[in-house]
A and B are shown apart, each in its own frame.
Chain A
Amino acid sequence: MNKPDDFECWRLPDDDSVPKVSMIKDQKVANAVALVIEREDHTLGNMLRMQLLEDDEVIFSGYRVPHPLEPAIQLKVQTRSEQVTPVQAVQAGVQALIGELDVLRDRFDSSLAQKRREFAAPPRGFP
C-alpha cells in the first residue's frame, strides 16, 4: 500500500535524494531563515529553539512539525542584524549544545564513578 517503510521515520534514503538540512530564505523579513531538518522531531527542534532564544542576537526562533506523518521539522530563526546571520546563530547554538552535552557526559561519568566507589555496585544481571 502507500505506507512508507517504518525505518523511513529516522533514516534518510540511501540515494541522497533528501537533504538533511535545507534552507528557505524569508523574502519578506530581513535576516530570517526557515531551516527544514529532515528525519528529526521535537527532540532536536525544541532543544535548538530554546538554545537560540538564549542568544541576544536572535530576535525570533521557533520550530514546528509541519505534518505529523512527515518526519521533518521546520526551524525559523531571525536575527537582530546582518552582522550575525541566522545560519551563524544556529551554528553557534548547535555548538553550545554540543559543548553542554560534553560537560553533561563528563559530570555524569564522574558522579557515577563516585557512586560506585561509595557503594559497591550489586552484582549485575547483564553487562
Chain B
Amino acid sequence: MFSCSVSLRSRTSSTLSSDSPIKILLWLHLLTWSPCPHTVRAAPMKRMPQVTVDELTADTIKFTLSNTDTSVANALRRVMLAEVPTMAIDKVEFMENTTVLHDDFIAHRLGLIPLTSEHAGFDTDSTDFDAAGLGPALSAFQYNRDCSCQAFCPRCTVQFDLDVKAKEDSTLYVTSEALKSEFESRCKVAVGNDGENAHILIVKMRKGQALKLKAYAQKGIGKEHAKWGPCCTAVFAYEPEVELNHKVYAEMSAEERADFVDACPKKLTKPYNPDDRPYESIETDEASACMVCLDCLERAKDFPGIAKVRDRPQYFKFTVESTGALAPDKIVFRAIEVLKRKLEEVRDKLASAALME
C-alpha cells in the first residue's frame, strides 16, 4: 500500500505543494482506482482500425486500412486470396466430345470459369425453399462434403449444361455463354462488362465437331484449388512518408538545396518552380507517389539526416480486383467474416483443449 502511494505521489506532486488538501484528495481518488495487478487481467490494448474506401467500380475496390498491425492487413489479404468461398465447376460428365481438346483439358477450362457466388456465403442453415421446389432459394450453398445428400443435390450443387454442334463452315467459338445453369438465380456464369470479350472462350470447333456435357458447380475455397479464388488481385502497399529536417535544410546553400530537390526523379518535392527555391522548407504533396528510391538522400550525402524517407507505419492501401464471382466489396466483407470464424473456432476449441489438460 505504501509503495503504491509513493509512486502516485511522483505523478501528481509536480504542481501542488506537499500539504495541499487538494493533493490529498487526489491521492485518495487515485488510490481507490489503482488497479491491482494480482487480480485483474490486463487485457491487451484494443486497436481501433480505420477504413476509408477510395474507389469502387463493378470489379475493383481500393481502400485504405490504417491504425492496425501489418499482421492483420496481411491476414485479410491472404484470406481474400485463398479462403473466401465461391462456386466453381468441380465435376464434369462428357456425353460427346469430338473437339480437338480432350475431356480433361475441357474440364479444367470449365473449372476456371467464374460463376456468380452470391450464395456461397455462410448462412447454410436457412430452410427457405423457392416456389419451384428446386432447393433453398435464400440460404447459402453447403459444401458438398457437409451436405446430407448421397451425391449431389440443389443444396450443394448447381448443374450446368452445354450442348453445341458446329454446322457452319466457319470456325465456331464455344464460350461460357453456351454454359446454361439449371438454377440461374442461385448460380450462373459471371459475365464480364467489356463487350465482345464478356464471355470466356472454352474451345474452337470446325464443321461437324460436337461437344455435349453436364457440369456440376460446387462450393470451395481457393486454398484447395485456385479456381475457387474470388480475386484476380488482392494486394496492399505501404504509403511512403517523407520528412524533412528543417535544421539541416537551413544550413544548405541555395545551390545545394536545388540539387537536393532536383534529385527526385519524379519531382515530387515542393517548391516545384525552380525560381521559388530555396524556400524555408520543402514538402511533398504526393508522398504516395514516392518510390522510396532514396536518390535525394544519396545526393545530399554531405548533410546527414537531411530527410527521412520511410514507409508510413500502420497504413495500408489495398487494391482488390474481382474475377466476377463476387462483387469486390463482398469479397472484403466475406474475408473479414472468414477470419472472424477462424478466430472463434480457435477460441472455442482452445477452451476445451485447456479443460482436457
Task: Give chain A's interface residues, CB within 8 Å of chain B.
Answer: 6-7, 9-11, 14, 19-23, 25, 35, 37, 40-44, 46-52, 54-57, 83-84, 87-88, 90-105, 107-109, 111-112, 114-116, 119, 121-127
Quote the shortest CB–CB distance from B189 to chain A (angstroms). 10
User: Is B304 part of the contact surface with A, judged by Cβ < 8 Å?
Assistant: no
Chain B residues lying within 8 Å of A48, measured Cβ to Cβ, are: 346
Chain B residues lying within 8 Å of A56, measured Cβ to Cβ, are: 42
Chain B residues lying within 8 Å of A20, measured Cβ to Cβ, are: 345-346, 349
Which single member of A11, A43, A51, A123 contacts B78 (CB below 8 Å)? A43
CA A93 to CA B74, docked complex, whole Å: 17
A43-B79, A55-B44, A108-B333 known; A98 vs B347 contact (CB < 8 Å): yes
- Contacts across chains A and B counted by CB atoms under 8 Å: 172
Quote the shortest CB–CB distance from A121 to chain B (angstroms). 6
Q: Identify the 8 closest CB pairs spanning chains A and B, nearest first.
A: A50-B71, A125-B193, A20-B349, A55-B44, A21-B349, A115-B53, A21-B353, A107-B51
User: Is B41 part of the contact surface with A, judged by Cβ < 8 Å?
Assistant: yes
Residue of A nearest to B347 (CB): A94
- Scan residues 113-172 of chain B and give those whose CB is less than 8 A from a CB of chain A: 116, 118, 145
Cβ contact within 8 Å between B349 and A111: no
Which single member of B192, B339, B347 contacts A95 (CB below 8 Å)? B347
Cβ contact within 8 Å between B51 and A108: yes
Quote the shortest CB–CB distance from B67 to chain A (angstroms). 10
Cβ contact within 8 Å between A42 and B118: no
Chain A residues lying within 8 Å of B325, measured Cβ to Cβ, are: 126
A47-B75, A96-B43, A108-B63 known; A126 vs B58 contact (CB < 8 Å): yes
CA A44 to CA B71, docked complex, whole Å: 9
Cβ contact within 8 Å between A115 and B51: no
CA A58 to CA B138, docked complex, whole Å: 45
Residue of A nearest to B47 (CB): A100
A111-B63, A112-B53, A125-B192 known; A96 vs B46 contact (CB < 8 Å): yes
User: Is B21 part of the contact surface with A, judged by Cβ < 8 Å?
Assistant: no
CA A121 to CA B57, docked complex, whole Å: 7
12 examples of A-B residue contacts, CB within 8 angstroms: A6-B225, A21-B349, A43-B342, A54-B44, A55-B42, A83-B38, A104-B51, A112-B329, A116-B56, A125-B59, A125-B192, A126-B325
Contact size class for B? 35 or more
Quote the shortest CB–CB distance from B123 to chain A (angstroms). 16
Cβ contact within 8 Å between A9 and B224: yes
**B325-350 interface bits toward A, Cβ cutoff 8 Å, 1 = contact, 0 = none:** 11101001100110110111111011
User: Is B221 part of the contact surface with A, judged by Cβ < 8 Å?
Assistant: yes
Chain A residues lying within 8 Å of B350, measured Cβ to Cβ, are: 21, 35, 87, 90-91, 94
A111-B52, A125-B59 known; A97 vs B343 contact (CB < 8 Å): yes
A7-B224, A97-B343, A98-B347 known; A104 vs B68 contact (CB < 8 Å): yes
Cβ contact within 8 Å between B191 and A126: yes
